[in-house]
Structure 1
């Protein structure tokens, strides 16, 4: 049973869609379209958008219209470090609390990610990736820390990283290593695997950008540079 409010369900649907690239940066989010898609009323959609504005996933307001927030390259390095700090603590808490049922859920989500990748459906794979990590961290029962992580995710270029050639395949392999350590209850190994997984995507994106324009200092790259360098 889903104990989340309708507002929380809509907000999580939109977070997943933004991170997966289903709602690209700059896309205007129309309340009525979302409400119709999710078979709900306007009210929970409006409240969900207010929450996402506060978290940084979207800009604007629920009355004049909300737009998926642009990517800010200048904040990415700091965001990377904060993600590593908080997500390794979450995964540690999850290992200590996980039940057999929790582990089975993670196996299913990891399998969904791999099946989507094998089918060539990268958007579905990215959405499954979001659900895998969110569920893994949720097990820790550290809602405030998870909330801060979700705010960091709003500022991270997942959509660009996952467009890099071969990245989804490599992420699937990293998930396998992470899940093996998790199932073995090896706290040190699962924290290390989490850190390496987070760092891998960022380093691949940075390398891709630098290869596209080696004369440009990394801190000065714009979202346009990133999108051009990661295009299929």
Structure 2
């Protein structure tokens, strides 16, 4: 994996924090506080916030400062379709390039995910889910495609979907199926598992929302 700059490392920390709910939608991000949390100065924090503003995770307002962007529930159906298309492309490419160390990293994350799901830790499941997909997709070495995927993640209601009853247990199972296919180098099974994983949460949410 390529070396991260300070800005990229902080952007990754913030991105994970937004997806996991550590930084709630609509909350204000204080640069000084983030600098202290990440052990850096204000300058790389400011640059990281600009990166995430470009991706859509953050709204930059001159008076209020940086605010975590809300998701767009009305656009989610289209977002899901785009996620399936682009994430399938990334996962297929990644399967051709994954190193032994990256495979072991995915195994370790799956173990953490199973443990978090078993103890009902929703926030941890969201964080580990993010790390799993990020590790897999970075291996594809398709930075422009990954950038588009991140803009979709910024607009996806992970927060609401993760609160569904038993969703984290089902997500953990979906991940295990994905990982098994990756380890077996079975592209067809991996794509089927990934598509199921991306669509399942949204379909479950729609069913609960309409009910």
Asked if these proteins are the same fold (TM beyond 0.5), I'd say yes
Q: TM-score, normalised by structure 2?
A: 0.96
How far apart are residue 62 of structure 1 and its match?
A: 7.1
8 A contact 1:90–1:142 mirrored in 2 = yes
Q: TM-score, normalised by structure 1?
A: 0.87
Higher mean alpha-carbon deviation, 4-13 vs 115-124, is at: 115-124
The 2-side partners of 1:62 and 1:190 are apart by 44
Give the structure 1 partner of residue 128 of structure 2.
128
Deviations 1:92-148 (A, max 9, x none): 111111222221110011111122222332212210110001101111111111111
Q: Is the partner of 1:24 in helix, strand or coil?
A: coil
Give the structure 1 partner of residue 179 of structure 2.
179
Deviations 1:175-196 (A, max 9, x none): 0100001111011110111111
Moved over 6 A (4+): none
The 1-side partners of 2:50 and 2:156 are apart by 20
Check if 1:5 corresponds to 2:5.
yes
Backbone CA RMSD of aligned residues: 1.4
The unaligned stretches of length 5 or more in structure 1 are 212-232
The unaligned stretches of length 5 or more in structure 2 are none
Q: What pairs up with 1:193-208 in 2 under 5 angstroms?
A: 193-208=193-208
User: How many pairs does the alignment contain?
Assistant: 211
How far apart are residue 61 of structure 1 and its match?
A: 4.0
Higher mean alpha-carbon deviation, 29-38 vs 63-72, is at: 63-72
Q: What pairs up with 1:11-160 in 2 under 5 angstroms?
A: 11-61=11-61, 64-160=64-160
8 A contact 1:46–1:62 mirrored in 2 = no
